[in-house]
């Protein structure tokens, strides 16, 4: 297979180019064999974390996540409000929905791994009151000389360890169930965004079809996980201002614990049947329950 056939097409299909627009940044990365852990944090003022600014910026990304390319390409001043409301209506408006994590892993994979969302499950919803079923996302990218398929899971828990355990356990169950994987690939085949993958759609579907007899020596599958959790798992802070240089202090705490957390993830993966590489994205919040409530509030406003 010629990677060049896929590289430019996948690059052109990306909707999100950078994480700068949502006010988060990478602080430290750790690697234990086939487990890669990236730790992010929300940007700060001198004395506080910019969580409200982050949420407003995040909501502005929703059309890229929830609309097909044809509608995105038609966005204009005249129809912006109409299409934005259409995208927002597809979100569950309960405080424990967890869809903030699904949106974040979409953004992180597109911006940080240059891996494009392969199927938009939000457009398959029949109501904003229901969740998507199965995986939280499927993305396709190019890494070195390989085309890489990412199967995604997201968790936003107050307790970091519970979030890690739940995400890895869910992916392990998926890994053991060939029927679930076949169903997800059928969804892609039936619902791929033809406009978004114009020029490479047929090649991608041929690559994803387990029964095609083409060269797949440079086709790999990976797992991707987003974990949102409370800062209290890392360091107990009184977040009420004034706190001088809060960003520097929190960065230091995150870097101190990053290796231990990555080792814990590696140990959990080794105990499961997962035999693929795993990329894990971490983002701490002051209060994960509150961030979910505030996210829903922003969607409603």
Average pLDDT of the chain is 91
Go through 31-48 and write b for each residue having 16 or more CB atoms within 10 A of its CB, e for each that does not.
ebebbbbbbbbbbbeeeb
Q: What percent of the chain has pLDDT above 70?
A: 94
Residue tagged 């329950």 (tokens): 289
In three-state form (DSSP H/G/I as H, E/B as E, the rest C), the secondary structure along 152-176 is EEEEECCCHHHHHHHHHHHHHHHHH
User: Which of 46-50, 109-113, 276-280 is least confident?
Assistant: 46-50
**Listed residue (178, 109, 97, 169) closest to 137, CA to CA:** 109
Environment class of residue 238 by beta-carbon count within 10 Å: exposed (0-12), middle (13-18) or buried (19+)? Answer: exposed
Environment class of residue 229 by beta-carbon count within 10 Å: exposed (0-12), middle (13-18) or buried (19+)? Answer: buried
Q: Say if residue 24's pLDDT is above 70.
A: yes
Q: At a CB cut-off of 8 Å and minimum separation 6, what does 151 contact?
A: 135, 138, 171, 174, 181, 184, 221, 222, 223, 224
What pLDDT, in 10s, does the model give residues 174-206? 999 999 999 999 999 999 999 999 999 999 999
pLDDT bin (cut points 50, 70, 90) of residue 1 is: low
d(CA 105, CA 225) in angstroms, rounded, equals: 7
Q: Say if residue 237's pLDDT is above 70.
A: no
Contact yes or no for 166/98 (Cβ under 8 A): no
Half-sphere exposure (Cβ direction) of 151: Cα atoms closer than 13 Å: 24
**Listed residue (51, 113, 61, 124) closest to 90, CA to CA:** 124
Q: How many CB atoms lie within 10 A of CB 294?
A: 19
CA distances from 13 to 6, 193, 207 (A): 11, 10, 17
Output the pLDDT for position 245: 87
d(CA 91, CA 121) in angstroms, rounded, equals: 11
Helix (H) or strand (E) holding 285: strand 278-285
Structure tokens at 129: 């009151």
d(CA 278, CA 152) in angstroms, rounded, equals: 10
What pLDDT, in 10s, does the model give residues 76-98? 767 878 888 888 887 877 767 77
Q: What is the pTM of this model?
A: 0.94
Taken as a whole, the chain contains a residue count of: 301
Q: At a CB cut-off of 8 Å and minimum separation 6, what does 194 contact?
A: 201
**Listed residue (19, 40, 16, 18) closest to 29, CA to CA:** 40
What pLDDT, in 10s, does the model give residues 211-220? 998 989 999 9
Backbone angles phi, psi at 272, to 5 degrees: -100, 180
Environment class of residue 66 by beta-carbon count within 10 Å: exposed (0-12), middle (13-18) or buried (19+)? Answer: buried
Structure tokens at 158: 């107050």
Output the pLDDT for position 126: 59
């Amino acid at each position: 297979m010629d990677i060049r056939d896929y590289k430019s097409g996948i690059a052109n299909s990306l909707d999100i180019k950078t994480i700068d627009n949502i006010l988060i940044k990478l602080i430290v990365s750790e690697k234990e064999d086939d487990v890669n852990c990236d730790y992010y944090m929300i940007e700060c003022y001198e004395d506080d974390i910019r969580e409200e600014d982050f949420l407003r910026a995040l909501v502005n990304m929703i059309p890229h996540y929830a609309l097909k390319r044809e509608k995105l390409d038609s966005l204009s001043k005249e129809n912006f409000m109409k299409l934005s409301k259409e995208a927002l209506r597809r979100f569950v408006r309960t405080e424990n929905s967890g869809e903030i994590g699904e949106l974040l892993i979409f953004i992180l994979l597109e911006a940080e791994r240059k891996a494009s969302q392969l199927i938009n499950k939000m457009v398959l919803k029949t109501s904003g009151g229901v969740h998507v079923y199965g995986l939280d996302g499927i993305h396709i990218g190019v890494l070195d000389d390989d085309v890489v398929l990412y199967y995604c899971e997201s968790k936003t828990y107050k307790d970091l360890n519970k979030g890690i355990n739940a995400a890895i356990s869910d992916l392990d169950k998926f890994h053991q169930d060939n029927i679930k994987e076949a169903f997800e690939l059928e969804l892609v085949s039936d619902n791929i965004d033809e406009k978004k993958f114009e020029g490479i759609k047929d090649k991608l579907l041929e690559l994803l079809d387990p029964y095609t007899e083409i060269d797949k020596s440079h086709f790999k599958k990976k797992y991707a996980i987003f974990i949102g959790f409370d800062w209290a798992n890392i360091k107990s802070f009184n977040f009420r201002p004034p706190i001088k240089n809060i960003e520097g202090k929190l960065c230091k705490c995150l870097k101190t614990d990053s290796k231990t957390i990555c080792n814990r993830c590696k140990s959990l993966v080794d105990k499961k049947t997962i035999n693929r590489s795993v990329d894990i994205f971490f983002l701490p919040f002051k209060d994960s329950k509150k961030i979910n409530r505030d996210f829903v509030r922003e969607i409603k406003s």
